[in-house]
Every structure is written in C-alpha cells, then in structure tokens.
Chains A and B, each alone.
Chain A
C-alpha cells in the first residue's frame, strides 16, 4: 500500500533563516505531488504541484520554492523565511487528478 511521509512534524525557525521540508511517497510510481499551506483557522492554499521529476508549477508568487529531485520526493524550500510563512504545511499525492489526494501528517512551522 502507498504511504506518504513528511518531516519534521514541527519546526520553529527565526525570521530570515532558510527552510527545507521534505516529503516522500512509498508504494507507487510517478505520483502527482502537491504542497499546501494552511494558516490557522483557514482553508488549504495550494503552493506548488508536480507531475514529474523536475516539473514544478507554482500557484502563488512568494519566497518559497519547490523541487522534485526524484520521482517520489518533493522538497519545499526558502532562502529567507518571513513571519507570514508560519502555518501548517501539507504534502499530498495522487496518481490522477480524478482520484482523491492523500495527505501526509504535515509540518507545523512557527516563525519567531
């Protein structure tokens, strides 16, 4: 069966520091991968999605970037974090946009 892993579960970072969040999927090949952010009490905001290695689509202009160096690995990065980057970051996968997305456990990011 397929599983998705995200780490770390929680992260506290100072303003201006770099960021790297990692997501990996097991048990499937060539998944569509997604990064979302959820602010406290708010809905899901799609940040990036990828349909294959090296293919990244950005939904919202900001100081974040994403990379997909391997088929089942998706990385969210920032060179300099802002206070507004605080939130709950979720990675998700699906094999087909007609199929449901499945989410990892998320990373709660706090910026001080």
Chain B
C-alpha cells in the first residue's frame, strides 16, 4: 500500500459545480495535512493545511479530515476554469517525514 494515494484523474467538473478531491494515507499516526495546487509548468503553491478532525474553510475551499478513516479531502465550491490544475496532497507522518501524493488533475469546463 502506498503511503499517500490520490486518484490521478482527470477529474472534470462544470463551472460553478463543487469539485471534490480525495486523499488517503496509510500511517495512522500522521499529524499534519496539506493541500497544494500546481498549475502546469509551475511550482506547487499552498492552498490549505489542517491538523484536527473535521472541516476547515477558507473562501471557496474546504479541507475535511477524518483520521479514523485515514482520509483528507479538499472541496472547491463554485469551481472556476482558473481552478484547473493538479492538486497535491501532502502528509506529515508519525516518523517526521512529509510525503506527497501523486496529485489529481482537475479540469473545470466552462
């Protein structure tokens, strides 16, 4: 089992819809969870981070963490074409390493 898994996509959603991106992890003791957005040819940029179970909202973005089920999600409300990018999940494990998932490609269709 890979340490951090994401569906590679592409995930296609119509403009204005909610995009749901999921990430599962294997280390039950993982402590910190990060979501990055990476446009084609650019470096990753931080969107959100979450440490505790539950939801954390920032504008159109909501991160959801469920440690018991070992998944973290990112919801993008009112998706815009400018949200089209690859979304990387990163997790700090119990052995103090940050592991990046392979990323999910999101395409928002006008």
Contacts and interface: CB of A to CB of B under 8 A. Distances in A.
> Does B bind A?
yes
B81 to A, nearest CB: 21
Given A43-B88, A43-B103, A44-B88, A101 B98 contact: yes
Interface of chain A, helix or strand or loop or mixed?
Answer: loop
Range of interface residues on chain B? 20 to 34
Interface in A92-112: 97-106, 108
B102 A43 contact: yes
Interface residues of A, number: 16
A42 B96 contact: no
B45 A44 contact: no
B46 A100 contact: yes
7 contacts: A43-B100, A43-B101, A44-B44, A44-B88, A97-B97, A99-B49, A105-B42
The 10 closest A-B pairs by CB, nearest first: A43-B102, A103-B43, A44-B100, A106-B43, A100-B46, A98-B32, A100-B34, A100-B49, A103-B44, A97-B92
